[in-house]
Structure 1
Amino acid sequence: MPPLLVLLLAALSLCGKVTAEKKLQYVTVLFRHGDRSPVRGYPTDPYEESAWPQGFGQLSQEGMRQHVELGQFLRKRYNGFLNESYVRHEITVRSTDYDRTLMSAEANLAGLYPPSGRQVFSPNIKWQPIPVHTVPQSQERLLSFPLRDCPRYEMLMNETEHTEEFLNITSNSQDIIELVRNKTGLKKTSVESVWNVYDTLFCESRHNMTAPDWVTPAVWAKLHVLKDFAFQVLFGVYRQQEKNRLQGGILLGAIVKNITHAATTNERHHLKMMMLSAHDTTVAALQASLNVFNGQQPPYASCHMIELYSDDSGSLSVSMFYRNDSSVEPYALQLPGCSLDCPLEEFVKITKLSISEDRDKECQLPSIGSNREVIITLAVSGCLLLILIIILFVSIVRHKEPLSSRGYRQIINQGMPEES
């Protein structure tokens, strides 16, 4: 190979390394809790709440193991970025106020920050307490979706149920919906209640509990399809972007705000990671607001990572990854309309469409406001029209009155003898 060509290739290789050099600056990690017991049973369920060690809706030991493993993965991925031992300035952990999400966060932190050196407080305990913040579920507005405090969203959900896609799927699934009602003892079944029954059966199957005879492979496949469709209905199918602005856009807005702050901060002890422990619907809501949701229920301990990078030239970019299978590396998620390494300005611009600036206002029912405006407009118009009619009537009467009087006198005079 000619020396000049070798030199050129070496230069190109060097340039490639320089342009590819990126420095991680900030990370948001959102994950679903780990394996759990069913949230509820159904009337004919052979397994009552007492069949589960801690009752319904609780993290299992398998769920604990899943999150220790995820924490170890995060340690490996962000080692060198996060300090090896826990530093409170570097990470903030937020969870919904459920036992299973709080415990998942704690198990995850056990894998992320195994104590060493001065942080070992007992030689027999390979764990250290790290704070996990939460708010009462009644006050949760960041991590629990769908929020049912929005009349406009409820209207959109009602309209979704009248779309052609929803009607077709429910019509084609009447056999399975009827079967679930007949076999479970539920008085009323819908796409949502079928989802709940599927969840219960799924939890039981994962814990080696025998399924009822009516749950054949064909029935199971149909239940799985309806379950995934129920997720899509919550945040898509119909008027997806508006649903996003009223639901997952709340979380997306907070994440974007934190990213932009991290991009401009000069604080010595700045936050490096925001860890969020929540639910499958939370992950789906965020991904739908980013328009990267694959339409499938996020599995236990699935993890969505949003990473902010800077390079030597000062350029900032955002990359996203999704880990929904612990046996393989996370796969990259590409924000529609942008590159895999999305420039921060573009990321903010594109996501702005899914973020409401005034959610309370957008949650109002348009019909109520419109009807009020129509009523006021009609009332004012009616008053003006009445006034106009009165004016015209008075004008006509005044104009015709002298003619009427003369005509009346003429008729009288014709009927009476003239005065002598």
Structure 2
Amino acid sequence: QIFVRSTDYDRTLMSAEANLAGMYPPEGAQIFNPNISWQPIPVHTVARSDERLLKFPLTPCPRYEQLQNETRHSALYVNKTRENWQFLQMVANETGIRDVSLEGVWSVYDTLFCEQAHKMDLPEWVTPDVMTRLKQLKDFGFEFLFGIQDWVEKARLQGGVLLGHIRKNLTKAADGSAHQNLKLLVYSAHDTTLVALQMALDVYNKIQPPYASCHLFELYQEDDGNYSVEMFYRNESGKEPFPLTIPGCQHSCPLQRFLELTDPVIPQDWEQECQVATIVHDTELFVGLAVCGSILLLLIILLLTVLFRIQSQHPGYRHVSNEGEEQA
């Protein structure tokens, strides 16, 4: 009735196991030791090198990298870098990190946040204002991964892969003939996993998911026999998950409508879509062909000119060397 899939990282495997221990305490015959309120539940994973579902950004994907390079040259990204250049340089000088960019500043904030959470003393230069600004830039860095511009195509190459997998499971569960016995599918992954998924759904709040965050999909069968999907987001331990509504639908979204709205971000062939389209190089190709064609045309003209001159010479004259004089 339950299937659990985790990335192959200690922290995500441990999170899955800890959650399962709380969700499924042993009862009756499941209790093998009265002093241990726990029962073993399988957690599935794959090698990191084979992970193509839960660890984002998904690589290798040349087209995604191309889109990221284009985003780096966007007005928003360039202006954001310019506005924070002195601050980023200060962080680089204080940390000793050579290149602190909008993309990499998250690692600085993450380290300081963990130290702060464990009641460790922070360096003197890390004031509350510095932490606030680092957090803002870190959140922008997460948005950069999957948005800012071309977010639909980025979603097809990233979060849409996981969303497509979830859609298949929802459809299978709604299909009475599929004999789907699973009641719960759990994915234990990373903050970037949630951001990629929520960007594909167009429900991301532009704030990095905190620890233990959870995005829930619930499938309901209505009185008329049709199915609907409801989504919730749990990003605070002390509060109930709050509802998420996909743009273009109500919170309780009919399954068919949910599938229609998410179709644009689902890749049909991920590997093929990740390739850099040849049309991108058409201008360079045309220029190259034009240059080669021009050179070939000049060679043909030159050859014809030489042949014409040879044929136009008088047949009664030819050059004869004065061998006697040369020998003398």
TM range, normalised to the smaller chain?
0.7 to 0.9
1:341 to 252, 255, 264: 252
Aligned to 2:66: 155
Q: Distance in 2 between matches of 1:186 and 1:224?
A: 18
Larger Rg: 1
Aligned to 2:117: 206
Matches within 5 A, 1:9-408: 90-266=1-177, 270-367=181-278, 370-371=281-282, 374=285, 378=289, 382=293
Q: What SS is found at the alignment partner of 1:266?
A: helix
- 2:7 maps to amino acid: T
TM-score (norm 2): 0.86
Q: CA deviation at 1:366?
A: 2.2
Q: CA deviation at 1:315?
A: 1.3
Q: Distance in 1 between matches of 2:206 and 2:272?
A: 29
- 1:166 maps to amino acid: Y
Q: Residues 321-365 of structure 1, C-alpha deviation per residue, up to 9 Å, x if partnerless?
A: 001112111111000011111111110011011111011121111
Q: Distance in 2 between matches of 1:334 and 1:187?
A: 42
- Specify whether residues 268 and 361 from structure 1 end up closer, same or farther in structure 2 by C-alpha distance, changes over 3 A only: closer
Aligned to 2:326: none
Q: What SS is found at the alignment partner of 2:177?
A: coil
Q: Distance in 2 between matches of 1:342 and 1:269?
A: 21
Instruction: Indicate the percent of aligned positions where both proteins have the same amino acid.
Output: 56
| Larger relative contact order (Cα-Cα within 8 Å, sequence gap ≥ 6) | 1
CA contact (8 A) 2:172 2:180 kept: no
Moved over 2 A (4+): 265-269, 366-379
Q: CA deviation at 1:374?
A: 3.9
Q: Residues 44-72 of structure 1, C-alpha deviation per residue, up to 9 Å, x if partnerless?
A: xxxxxxxxxxxxxxxxxxxxxxxxxxxxx
Structure 2 regions of 5+ residues with no counterpart?
A: 313-328
Structure 1 regions of 5+ residues with no counterpart?
A: 1-89, 398-403, 405-420
Q: Residues 193-245 of structure 1, C-alpha deviation per residue, up to 9 Å, x if partnerless?
A: 21101000000000000000000111111101100000000010011111100
Cα RMSD (Å): 2.6
Count of paired positions: 305
Q: CA deviation at 1:304?
A: 0.4
CA contact (8 A) 2:105 2:134 kept: yes
Q: Residues 160-213 of structure 1, C-alpha deviation per residue, up to 9 Å, x if partnerless?
A: 111111111111111220111100011221112211010000000000000000
Q: CA deviation at 1:373?
A: 9.7
- 2:134 maps to amino acid: L
Q: Distance in 1 between matches of 2:152 and 2:178?
A: 35
- 2:206 maps to amino acid: G
- 2:273 maps to amino acid: E
